[in-house]
Structure 1
Amino acid sequence: MKLKSIVLSVCGSLAVFGMANASPLDTDPMLTLDNYSIPVGVKGAKIAKVISSCGSHCSHEISIEKDTAGIFTVDKHGAIALKKGVALKADSPVFVYGITIKSGCESKEFELVKDQFIKNKVIAHRGAWKNHEASQNSRNSLKYAIEIGCEASELDVWMTSDGEIVLNHDPSVGGKVVEDNTAADMATVPLKGGDYVTTLAQIIKDVKKQNKTRIVIEIKASLKSQERTDELTAKVMKLVHDMKAQAWVACYISFNYNSCLISAQMDPTARTAYLSDDKSVNDLKAINMWGIDFNYKMFEKDANLIKDAHAAGMTVNVWTVNKKEDLVSFLDKGVDYITTNEPEMLLDIIKEKKSK
């Protein structure tokens, strides 16, 4: 991957969020953009709006501090665009452009990515592992999800005893309880295909080597305390920002309601979805959830869920759908994403539908 650099600068005072039942974490809102992908072949393309850490009401002067590529501009309202007459070529090997933005006294680096991301609705549940020599939630399962052409690869994260973020679905793996062991301990647990239990940081490094497939990060609820879940959530959000990986994260999801609140408050532009079925579409819309993300049985109980979510401007993901007839049915119903253990089957169905 070739990398060019651009830097923007934004300065503003941080606001501290008040949140019911939340532990006293550093969950201040972060300086963000409302988009991180650059359209291909569009001269002077509009890319993103800068969202200050003190909210959209801030009136700090916004400027580009550094732009090594020399192709970006930002106006007084914080709108980032390609310079007049400039367009990205599809066949150029460069697909990542670094930026640093300044607003007031705050500066932050970002990476904008040439938008060649796949949009086919296929979310590989815990990666593509079932038909490959790969374990769930592994580097190999991500690799195969990328190779077969999924829109995104879903993964699950826990926090170790020493505060690191590692991948696994269940509370334990290889006889080790994740929350009771260090990251170094977990890294000794062997998986299929020569893999070992890995960290979210390593997965982010892997996914950033390409611009076709994104990741969906499920934040697991601690079995020890809500405070640990809150801490994990804040660490995930900060890690993604620190590694400038926002463009590669399709969505943050969790069964833990407070985790979703923290994600949405730390980064109001982040795509966030709540997995439990105890909230209505209107409830989720009210707390800035990007979409609904329910088990397929919920859609059988309420035939209006998809229509109601779309009417509210929300996306619809359904999980975990593995039977061919169900995959076809949800495609026909117009859901936006399908999470499945059978991504190859779903890709074949989509290909067959397009050929008709």
Structure 2
Amino acid sequence: MKQLRFSLLFLFCVLITVPAAAKGKTKVIAHRGYWKTEGSAQNSIRSLERANEIKVYGSEFDVHLTADNVPVVFHDSKIQGKHIQTTPYAELKDLKLPNGETLPTLEQYLDRAKELKNAKLIFELKSHATPERDREAAKIAVDMVNSKKLGKRTEYIAFSLEAAKELHRLSPKTPVYYLNGDLSPKQLKELGFAGLDYNYKVMQKHPEWFKEAKDLKLKINVWTVDDPEVMKEMIESGVDFLTTDYPEEAQKAVLLYR
């Protein structure tokens, strides 16, 4: 009887501690949403919905300002030959994504995100033509996220150091990550950023940054990790987040290797 009680107690302890341990695992971010799936497309609202359905940690998306200050969700600088940042929204609004959706505005994207409950919003603010324009874009972005009451679900990322600093200044409680790969963890800590969000090749060149970041209590995200062997390497190196075009495969890799 005592042995049975001990076995049951041990099983109970295991069951209640598994979720806590799982919290320490590498979390998966869908790069430009979950778009490598039927009916989806990069940065489409459907890609956000699909990322939410598979319960990834976050869905990453890219935002440009049009010439007349309308934030739109798209990765490339041009859509169907039109340069987004120098074109008024009226000339872009009817353009289609590969899945048939029209080019989404940030407002449309966030309105749909409010209806979904799982995925964090990994908001990449694209670099703009000047530091002044970067700062203006950051303000428009933060104001819109806050107006939708999505600040707690949002994390900002940027290649532009000017944009990243302005995002942190405007929203100091929201995690901001720098993408460019040219600053050490110590430098990022001094700037007040939540961590580094670097191409995995940068981390392969600077393996010492894994420990340095952890010692400084900074988070580590790596992108864009699509190769299974690199997934294994990064997960075993202890990254906090892994950004990928293959989120379901990455979720399986996390279960295998962490």
| TM class, shorter-length | 0.7 to 0.9
What is the Cα deviation at residue 303 of structure 1?
Answer: 1.2
Counterpart of 1:150 in structure 2: which amino acid? V
The answer on 1:330 being equivalent to 2:234 is: yes
Corresponding residue for residue 280 of structure 1: 184
State the distance in 1 between where 2:236 and 2:37 align: 25
Return the match for 2:223 from 298, 319, 339.
Answer: 319
Structure 1 segments of 4+ aligned residues over 3 angstroms from their partners: 351-354
Do the aligned partners of 2:43 and 2:74 also contact (CA within 8 Å) in 1? yes
5 Å matches for 1:286-305? 286-305=190-209
State the distance in 2 between where 1:210 and 1:120 align: 22
State the distance in 2 between where 1:284 and 1:239 align: 26
Corresponding residue for residue 141 of structure 2: 236
Cα-Cα RMSD? 1.7
5 Å matches for 1:1-356? 121-222=27-128, 224-249=129-154, 251-352=155-256
Do the aligned partners of 2:131 and 2:163 also contact (CA within 8 Å) in 1? no
Counterpart of 2:206 in structure 1: which amino acid? D
Deviates more, 1:281-290 or 1:128-137: 128-137
TM-score by length of 1: 0.63
Number of matched pairs: 235
CA deviations on 1:131-151 (whole Å, 9 max, x unpaired) are: 332221111111111112211
Q: Which runs of 5+ in 2 are unaligned?
A: 1-22
Do the aligned partners of 1:207 and 1:214 also contact (CA within 8 Å) in 2? no
What is the Cα deviation at residue 350 of structure 1?
Answer: 2.7
What is the Cα deviation at residue 210 of structure 1?
Answer: 2.4
Counterpart of 1:154 in structure 2: which amino acid? E
Distance 1:120 1:281, change over 3 A: closer
State the distance in 2 between where 1:258 and 1:196 align: 30
State the distance in 2 between where 1:278 and 1:328 align: 24
Deviates more, 1:183-192 or 1:167-176: 183-192
CA deviations on 1:251-286 (whole Å, 9 max, x unpaired) are: 101110111111111111110011112211111101
State the distance in 1 between where 2:190 and 2:202 align: 20
State the distance in 1 between where 2:38 and 2:255 align: 21
Q: Secondary structure at the match of 2:163?
A: helix
CA deviations on 1:231-263 (whole Å, 9 max, x unpaired) are: 1111101111111111221x1011101111111
State the distance in 1 between where 2:206 and 2:150 align: 36
State the distance in 2 between where 1:243 and 1:204 align: 7
Greater strand share, structure number: 1
Greater helix share, structure number: 2
Counterpart of 1:313 in structure 2: which amino acid? K
Do the aligned partners of 2:66 and 2:85 also contact (CA within 8 Å) in 1? yes
Q: Secondary structure at the match of 2:99?
A: helix
Do the aligned partners of 2:224 and 2:243 also contact (CA within 8 Å) in 1? yes
Counterpart of 1:139 in structure 2: which amino acid? I
State the distance in 2 between where 1:284 and 1:132 align: 39
TM-score by length of 2: 0.86
Higher relative contact order (CA closer than 8 Å, sequence separation 6+): 2
State the distance in 2 between where 1:302 and 1:286 align: 19
Counterpart of 2:237 in structure 1: which amino acid? K
State the distance in 2 between where 1:183 and 1:129 align: 24
State the distance in 2 between where 1:139 and 1:188 align: 15
Deviates more, 1:180-189 or 1:255-264: 180-189
Do the aligned partners of 2:152 and 2:174 also contact (CA within 8 Å) in 1? no
